[in-house]
Chains A and B, each alone.
Chain A
Amino acid sequence: MDPLILSRIQFGANISFHILFPAITIALGWMLLFFKLRYNATGDTAWMRAYFTWVKVFALSFAMGVVSGVTMSFQFGTNWPGYMETVGNIAGPLLAYEILTAFFLEAAFLGIMLFGFRRVSNRIHTLATVLVAGGTTLSAFWIIALNSWMQTPVGFEMRDGVAHATDWWAIVFNPSMPYRLVHMLLASGLTVSFLIAGLSALRYLNGDRSESMWKALRTGVFTAAILIPIQIFAGDQHGLNTLEHQPQKIAAMEANWNTGPHVPLVLFALPDEAARENRYELTIPDGASLILRHSASGVVPGLNDYAGNHPPVFPVFWAFRIMVGTGVLMLVVSWSAAFFLKRRHSLPRPLALVMVPMALSGWLATLAGWYTTEIGRQPWLVTGVLKTVDAVGPVAGSHVALSLAVYLILYALLLIAYLGVLVYLALKAAKDGDASPLPGVLDAPLSQPAAK
């Protein structure tokens, strides 16, 4: 068994599992702050009920994110020692700053946010919510800075095969970093707004007409409706940035085999890397040239320029299409729902039925987006500096096979349990409606010790 392939599958599985939870906690923290501020401003307990319903989801997602994140950081050493040995001088400080500035902040104030409602003043509780939300976002900032640097590395020099930093400002704010960060933050916002809208729709379908359900539903739907066009614009800008810095990735995303003008936009195809052509192609003439170069005769890079040095075409091509397709679906659903909520003050049953599975559309789009960008980086781990194949460690294939099998089973079971709890919480909230106990008393983890 080849430890390289197994390690790649293992890391891929781990990061796929991990990203699901930051995708929720980053924006959910701010959403909770919004609920809390609305409560502070209006004194309406329905906002606080919404807060306490969703803070449970936050806690669970945070725990899932922490444990899978710890697993990921260990894998740098267990499976990819070549990574830190080569670029540790740069990755190290960025990771250190993530732990120092973000991780502790979240972890310490999460306790107050979850269990401290009766222990500290309302003001401190709100402050704890701000700090946790800020912490998760700061965490994303550092991780994306590192990831972007791996995609578009600058501000360093190689000495004896080891990267040394020369310009920290350039490293952190590397060319693709702002685009990637905005794209990811918006993705998190969309993931959370669809999750809230979808689970609220589930409550609605189960007969829940409580004030807290409506508040959450409206917040989710309107946030999604506002964010999705912004995301489409940001995604397009990110694509143009990729064209500039990682043209081979764009060539794979478009399944464009030959560089030239008048490149069509491929809507559907089965890219065949052996024959270096697309089967069953459905195209729009000049489409890719128009989108990427804003001119029908614009030259679009093709894979022929990067023979032997470009990412696998099939997964990148399809991951990109799944992401864009999901985005279009998000646009249609969120705008329809916003229309009915705004104009008719109601939610048609068929639309509610569509919104329930759409609760996970953010996850689908985020994963597809990450596959596009991460597989699109291959065969490089750090573009032009370190190849994935050169970073793998001297671990026996059988050991990796064992750990991989256990991780996969564990992740699958945890995912089922997580989704099960989300649905259970929604149904329970639907049953209790606003007759549930008052906020602050609501949470079962008796972790609600009395004030002294």
Chain B
Amino acid sequence: MMLDWPTLLPLIFAGLMGLAILIYVILDGFDLGIGILFAAAEDAEQDTMIAAIGPFWDANETWLVLAVGLLLVAFPLAHGTILTALYIPVFLLLVGLILRGVAFDFRAKVPAGRKHRWNRIFFLGSVIASLAQGYMLGIYVLGLDVGLGGMAFGALVALCLAAAYAAMGAAWVIYKTEGELQKKAVLWLRRALVLTALGMVAVSLATPLASPRIFDKWFVWPAMLYLSPLPVLSAVLFAWLWRQTFHLPKPNDRHALTPFLTLAAIFTLGFAGLAWSFYPFVVPDRLTIWQAASAPESLAIILVGTVVVLPIIIFYSFYAYRVFGGKATDLTYD
């Protein structure tokens, strides 16, 4: 492989897009998860949970805009192919995101009697968006071929991804709250973990089986050896997190952030596995990142902006998280 610009640029953008998707899944994952957990929470708890994501969700969702934006601008051919194939789930995802995004604001502004309605819409929107994302992941893993079996698999992944988001949401609640709600969140986390693990196993098995090419990438010596840390480490982290759920919350709120970080690490490992499987294709087994990429001069001009702006974005995102650090239950109205 010649490492000239026309080769490098699509590679860089595939990497950036992957990064944006991963950050999105981790950050908006806990927002969506908190929406899903709304079903199991009391009124006052819902208010606290909203306070735990209030200042962040907007910036979190922006990573999805960036990820899809990069797909759109860097790989226009793939963008069209993937999104037309996934028309209905994309449409449902958007409906979910619309409902979730506006309910968030409406619930705080409508007359008190209407708040419940918007709480339910917030829950519904979060569930729809999560399920749609999971379904899309399932169909993508199978190579965008939708038969009856594919739909069933998509449904399974949808359920598991929603559970994984619920786990992220619970982990975030553990970090941002204390007292009864925090204890409740530990139980939520434990239940959601089971389905999360099932989902990761299902995707890990289905991916190589759906494509001989991917099978050969994983199950040859010595690749198997190099890749073994991915599943092994994931399993160890799962087991460790599962054990932790029996000991949390700890005195002085030690390790409150640990479940969230552990889940983020597990997501990252799973994501790395997917990335290895599909590279260099952006549309499974059909379009490589080079075939789908925009012209090098267009990518170059985007890269200039990205290199300047991305560090700034990351810097001020950290700043925003720092400003709103600490427990969300410390509410005062003075």
Contacts and interface: CB of A to CB of B under 8 A. Distances in A.
Interface of A: 56, 59-60, 62-64, 66-71, 73-74, 76-78, 81-82, 84-85, 88-93, 95-97, 99-101, 103-105, 107-112, 114-116, 119-120, 162, 164-165, 168, 393-396, 399, 402-403, 406, 410, 414, 417, 420-421, 424-425, 437, 441, 443-450, 452
Interface residues of B, number: 74
B79 A81 contact: yes
Interface stretch (B140-148, B167-175, B208-216, B321-329): B321-329
A74 B90 contact: yes
A64 B90 contact: no
Contacts of A69: 65
Interface string B80-94: 111110111011001
16 contacts: A66-B61, A70-B68, A71-B98, A81-B83, A88-B76, A99-B69, A108-B59, A108-B319, A110-B58, A111-B324, A114-B55, A116-B324, A395-B84, A399-B87, A446-B47, A446-B51
Contacts of A96: 69-70, 73, 302, 305-306
B223 interface: no
Secondary structure call for the B interface: helix
Given A66-B58, A108-B320, A410-B98, A403 B80 contact: no
B295 A85 contact: no
B145 to A, nearest CB: 16
Of the listed residues B54, B91, B316, the one surrounded by the most CB atoms of chain A closer than 10 A to its CB is B91
B59 A111 contact: yes
A77 B94 contact: no
Contacts of A425: 109
B98 A119 contact: no
B80 A60 contact: no
B90 to A, nearest CB: 6
Given A417-B110, A445-B108, 14 more contacts: A66-B101, A70-B94, A70-B97, A73-B72, A77-B68, A93-B302, A104-B62, A104-B309, A120-B323, A396-B87, A406-B91, A417-B102, A417-B106, A449-B327
B82 A77 contact: yes
Nearest to B112: A444
B56 A88 contact: no
B324 A449 contact: yes
A108 B54 contact: no
Interface of B: 47-48, 50-51, 54-56, 58-59, 61-62, 64-66, 68-74, 76-77, 79-84, 86-88, 90-91, 94-95, 97-99, 101-102, 104-106, 108-111, 294-295, 297-298, 301-302, 305-306, 309-310, 313, 316-317, 319-320, 323-328, 330-334
Contacts of B302: 92-93, 96-97
Contacts of B77: 85
> Residue among B104, B294, B301, B330 with the most chain A CB within 10 A?
B294
A395 B83 CA distance: 10
Contact of A108 (B297, B305, B306, B316): B316
Nearest to B58: A107
